[in-house]
Structure formats: C-alpha cells, structure tokens
Structure 1
Amino acid sequence: MSAVMAALARVLSRHVAAYPLRGIRSHVDDLAPTGRPIFSRDCPECTFAFPDDSALAGESLTVLVNHLESKGYGRPADNNALRRRQAGRIAEIYQHLRSGGVEFIAAAGDLNDTPDSEPRAPLPADTDLRDVAEVAGFDDGGRPGTYANGTAGNKINYLLLSPALFDRATDGAIFRKRVWGGKNGTLFEHFPTMTSPVHAASRR
C-alpha cells in the first residue's frame, strides 16, 4: 500500500460512517510506455456505499482522488507532459468504470492547471465529467479560483462529476476558511486560529 493510500485509509475510516467504504484500488503502479510510473503520487479509486435510508440505497459512489504533477519544480515542458499523461490516465480509468456500469463517479483533487490548459485537456475531451462549479446553485463568491486569492488563474482544484451525480447536484461553494486571502488575510473569512499566512492550508 502506498503512503498516500495508507493516509487516505486512516482518514476515511474516521469520516465515512454514513457512507461505508467498500474498497480502495490503487493506481500507484500504473506505468507509462517508458516503464515509469504515470502518477507522481497515486490515483486511488475509493468506493463507498450510499446510506441505506437514501434514495440511492444499494448503489455505490466511486471517487478518484488526484494530485497531479506540480508546476513548481523541474522543467515546465516535462511537468506539462506528465500532467497530460496523468489526466489521460484518469480519463481511461473513468471510462473503464463507466463501461463496467458504474454511474456515480467523482474525480476530485488538485489538477495543478486551469480549465482551458492543454495538459488537462483529456478530461473534458475524453469524458463526460462536469465541473461542480457549473451546477446552477453553485456559489463561488465571485471568485472562481480555488486557492490563493481566488482569481480565475488560480482555479486548479476540481470536483468533476459523472452525469448521474451532476444531475443530482443542487448547489455548492468553495470553502475558504483555511485560506489567507489578500496581504492581510481579510479577503475571506478565515478560522480565528489563523493569524498569519503560514497557517493557511495551502500557500502554493
């Protein structure tokens, strides 16, 4: 089990009582044609059961958890190529699940690129996944970005939904209480225990 998988399993065991965990499948050993791993970390498939008292009782939800290659280290061309390969593999995993009859799928995480970027192009081009931000009731507070000051160029984190999930979504928002917005942290309401930028959940 990869370190990412082990940490994820610990978190899930504490927080999914209402949605029992049915299984986790790792893709940490998926290889590119060069023989090198595709994912810098992993792309685990986490499958949960919907609650017995819900309208979807008996069905399952599969979440593909992602953190794609960063822009911050190494050669940009190499990083871009790796992110595109990773996005392509996510699309393949998603399509495999869909062809196997899985309806309720979410691809979530830090894709480290903006919606119109070339490296993440396989996801909108090769799947029918839709961004939760497109849901009619979604509230981004006028700032579509998902980290730093929330500008459009800072939209790199996503919750992408299969059609069956998207059609059931009614609203949503970007949670920013662990973000230090602006120079003085006054751009967004944050937790009172945060007194400087160093306390932010992510500063990159």
Structure 2
Amino acid sequence: MRIAAFNVENLFNRARALDRHTWTAGRAVLRTYQRVCVLLEETAYTPDVSREILRELGRLGLRHSDAARFARLRQNRGRLLRRRRNGPVEIVAGGRADWIGWVELTTDCVQELALANTARVLRDVDADIVGVVEAESRVALKRFTGTWLADDGRPRYPYVMVIDGNDERGIDVGVLSAAGYPLIGQHSHVDDTDDHGRIFSRDCAEYHFRTPGGRRIAVLVNHFKSKGYGPKAASDRIRRRQAVRVAEIYRGLCRTGVDHVVVTGDLNDTPDSATLAPLLRDTDLRDVSELSGFDDGGRPGTYGSCTAGNKLDYVLLSPALQAVARGGGIFRYGVWGGRHGRLWPIYETMTSAVHAGSDHAALYADVDLA
C-alpha cells in the first residue's frame, strides 16, 4: 500500500458567481446580492422595501425556493417571507429584528488549472491513504475529489474526512482513502492542552483505517505552527509543544496495541531542528526519507525550491511499518521549480507559477502491508 502526505495549499470552495466560466451571469448576481444584503438590514421593511426585497430575491432565483444556482436564503429563526402554493409570495417579517437569517452565495469547487494540477498530483501519486493539509472542510474536499478524481462516476477516494480545527481561516487537515481502506475511527485533538494552553494551531487529527487484509492502521495528520508568521522564538516554542504532544499520542497508541502508526503532514521545520526533536529523535518513528529505497530526486526538500532547508513535510512510520517499508519518494511535478520553473520536470500545463498544483511536493511511502 502507498501512504502519502500532501499540502494542497488552501483548497477552498469559492462562490460560484466568481467562477470565470459563469462570470457573465455572476457579475449581475454579485450586484443583486450586494443590494439584497443592504435591504435585509433595514430596521423596518416598509412596503417599498418589501417590494424591492422580493424583486432582488427573484433575480437571484430565491423568490420561490430557498436554494438557487448562485445563492441561498437562510431563514434560521422566524420567517422573512411566506410562499403560498397558489398565491403570491409576500414578506412577513416587519424588519431586521423579526427574523434571523441572511442570503449567502452558493459555493462550489474551483474550476481552475491549478486545481486540475492538484488533482493530477493525487492521480499520479496514486496513494491508498493521503494525509491532506490545508483543506477548508469535508464538503470542499469531497467536492474536489468528486469533480477531479472520479472515473465513470466512481470516486478514486470514496472515504473523505476533515475535522474542523482551531484555525479560524478554515485551514484544516483531513484524509482521503481508497476503496479497500475504509475509515473505521477518528479522534480530534483540537482541545488538547498543556501548561501553556491549547496545543494545536489546527489539529492532530487521528484517523484509523482497516486494510484489505483486516489490519488496523492509525494515521495522525498534522499541520504545525508556521515559521513565517510571528516572532521566531514564539513560533518555535509552539512547534516544540506540538511535537511533544504528538509523540505522547503516538506512544499512547502503541500502549493500546496499535502497531501500525503513521504520523504525517506539514511539520513546518527541518529534521535537525530542536523543535521537532521530541518527535523525530525521542521516539522510534522514522521518516520514510531515511529508509532504504527512498528517491528524493536529488533534492531533500518538499517545499518551494526543495532545498534541505525546505524539508517540511513528513511521513513518519512506526517500527512495524518500517520493517515492511519498500521505499518511497517525493513527487514534484505539481510544484513550480524555482524562479523560472526549471529546477525539475513539471507538468506541461504549468506555464506560470500560478498554475502550480501546490507549493508543496507530495511525499509518499510504500509499505508491504496486506
């Protein structure tokens, strides 16, 4: 089986009205959406305001239904309007205070070349289990796989999971698994704390799978504190706390008899860093890059220019998996290779850095585990 880590670089849904393929209609939708949002905030829905609300809702396709192609009407408490089967639609709220709700833009998977290249990386790596970093939500990730990674209507990854983490921007970690590797358990560590407070910037999401041979494998997907934001010393302390806690979670799994454990994701520091030492040096986990048969393509890094200082992504294997490891590699075809994109072979569709599938390479391990 093949296990991979891939930072998909901000895989978000986007308002359907913003899609360049529907921009002619989308431009008018945005103007209407802006106007109806202003109207709905009126203290009193006078007859003139009510008529205009109905007119704008009609333009959005929401006069007779709460859901339309480009927008959705949320009526959470109370009612904005009444729809009669054989009568007129009318505004029943007297003003903003009479109901709780709003109009929101419908979101969908982004239809852009960069996303096609993100999917192409996943197809070409062809892993059975993928630890995904920087996905907005399960819905976004499932739409992405359903749009880009399905053959004849059958998804390459029928098992898709993302657990909401602590990052308010919605940059979460999740997992994809192929048929034959069902997700049989999950556990979030978003609320794990130490003496300094909450530990994880996002989560250490714990996923359990059953292999075709009936074995259990646990995958801990991580996205440690970034090096690029905030004072270095403070960021380093947070990453070290995160490494300490992941090591504790790993040891706990081992004590309960779970022998096949993978710790994967974007740990945002190098193998020789003091911040990752509790995980990389103080446990018996080993990164696939240290094992026989690993091909780094002549560069040890996984991010940006992929130098040694940019080795940020990991697939750490427990001893039971190390014993059956058969190699692995770094897949860079979806990463723009340096300033001019020529540091390594890239997809022919990538003629600019904006076309890159991600700024991170995919990293994978092959293990002989039935």
TM-score when normalising by structure 2: 0.50
Partner of 1:73: 229
SS at 2:194 equivalent: coil
Aligned structure 1 segments of 4 or more residues deviating by more than 6 angstroms:
none
Which whole-Å CA distance do the structure 1 matches of 2:353 and 2:135 have between them?
26
Which whole-Å CA distance do the structure 1 matches of 2:137 and 2:337 have between them?
32
Which whole-Å CA distance do the structure 1 matches of 2:293 and 2:277 have between them?
26
Partner of 1:129: 285
Higher strand fraction (1 or 2): 2
Partner of 2:308: 152
Q: 1:103-135 deviations in whole A, cap 9, x for unaligned? A: 000100111101010111101233100010122
Structure 2 residues without counterparts, runs of 5 or longer: 1-133, 146-158, 161-175, 361-370
1:22 aligns with 2:184: yes
Counterpart code for 2:189 = H
Q: Is the 8 A contact 1:4 1:42 kept in 2?
A: no
Q: Is the 8 A contact 1:50 1:58 kept in 2?
A: yes
SS at 1:174 equivalent: strand
Which whole-Å CA distance do the structure 1 matches of 2:311 and 2:353 have between them?
19
Which is bigger in relative contact order (C-alpha 8 A, separation at least 6)?
2
Partner of 2:242: 86
* Alpha-carbon offset, residue 167 of structure 1: 1.1
**Equivalent in 207, 210, 232 of residue 46 of structure 1:** 207
Q: 1:69-126 deviations in whole A, cap 9, x for unaligned? A: 0011111111000000000000000000001100000100111101010111101233
Which whole-Å CA distance do the structure 2 matches of 1:46 and 1:123 have between them?
19
Change (3 A) 1:5 1:90: farther
- The percent identity for this pair of structures is 54
1:177 aligns with 2:359: no
Partner of 1:100: 256
Which whole-Å CA distance do the structure 2 matches of 1:15 and 1:101 have between them?
23
Which whole-Å CA distance do the structure 1 matches of 2:185 and 2:349 have between them?
36
Which whole-Å CA distance do the structure 1 matches of 2:179 and 2:211 have between them?
10
* Alpha-carbon offset, residue 149 of structure 1: 1.8
Structure 1 residues without counterparts, runs of 5 or longer: 52-56
Which whole-Å CA distance do the structure 1 matches of 2:286 and 2:238 have between them?
22
Partner of 1:202: 359
Counterpart code for 2:255 = S
**Equivalent in 25, 28, 31 of residue 193 of structure 2:** 31
Q: Is the 8 A contact 1:20 1:50 kept in 2?
A: yes
Which whole-Å CA distance do the structure 2 matches of 1:29 and 1:120 have between them?
21
Change (3 A) 1:15 1:99: closer
Rg larger in structure: 2
Which whole-Å CA distance do the structure 2 matches of 1:158 and 1:124 have between them?
10
Q: Is the 8 A contact 2:239 2:275 kept in 1?
A: yes
TM-score when normalising by structure 1: 0.89
